[in-house]
Amino acid sequence: MPEIISENVSISLLKANEAIAKELRDFFNKKKIFVINMLSSPGSGKTTLIEKLAHYFEKEKICVLVGDVQTERDAQRLRKAKIRAFQIVTQGVCHLEAIMIKQALSLIPEDTEYLFIENVGNLVCPASYNLGEHLRIVIISTPEGDDKILKYPKAFLTADAIIINKTDLLPYLSFDSEKVKQDIFKIKKELIIFFISALKNEGIKEVVDFIKNAKEKIMK
């Protein structure tokens, strides 16, 4: 009986989240704000990647909502790089939820064209929560190993693209890029894959082009 109650509560929470996510999507569409939800495990390089991406959006106005269990360090770091960033501290919750984004809407500048949501570092919980985004990108890094895809399938099943970061470390690791590709295609054949090094600024332009093209198609 307790298990059934727990399952029903989970379903109810996700339904409530979906309702708010739809409100958010309608709001973003009305305001013409294109939203990218970025998921990854801790230490994959999300913040560094956003710093690099921002250089290619000089003509467009971007904003970042950063989710973390504690501290405002990532948002502070982005602000030092002259990027408009606002922190959402989840106080122990391992993912962002639509209600958290809704509560942060007043922080987003009116002229925002692209909103990047840097989700809490976790490949499990965030995959179940729609934030009203137009695009979901999952990031993994080569030091994490090449077995993440089949271990955390939902994260990749719900993604539109996957970024494999820190490719500059490939010569020093036993990361099998072909194995990762095969695992991805087992989960979702149409998933777009980018191999990048955010630190070395390699492959960033291709990601930017993908995001801008997605906006043109989705927000005609």
What residues does each domain of the chain span? 2-218
The model carries a pTM of 0.93
Q: Which pLDDT score, from 0 to 100, does residue 5 have?
A: 45
Q: What tokens appear for 84 in the block? A: 């408009």
Listed residue (61, 115, 124, 137) closest to 94, CA to CA: 124
Per-residue pLDDT for 103 more than 70? yes
Element (H, E) at 174: none
Strand 135-141 to strand 85-89: parallel, antiparallel, or no bridges (unpaired)? unpaired
Two tokens, residue 4: 């059934």
Amino acid (one-letter) located at 137: I
User: Measured between alpha carbons, how far is residue 67 from residues 29, 98, 130, 141 in Å?
Assistant: 22, 12, 14, 19
Identify the band that residue 6 occupies on the pLDDT scale cut at 50, 70 and 90: low
Q: Whole-number mean pLDDT of the chain?
A: 94
CATH 3.40.50.300 fits 2-218, yes or no: yes
Nearest C-alpha neighbor of 59 from the set 135, 111, 109? 111
> What is the pLDDT at residue 1?
42
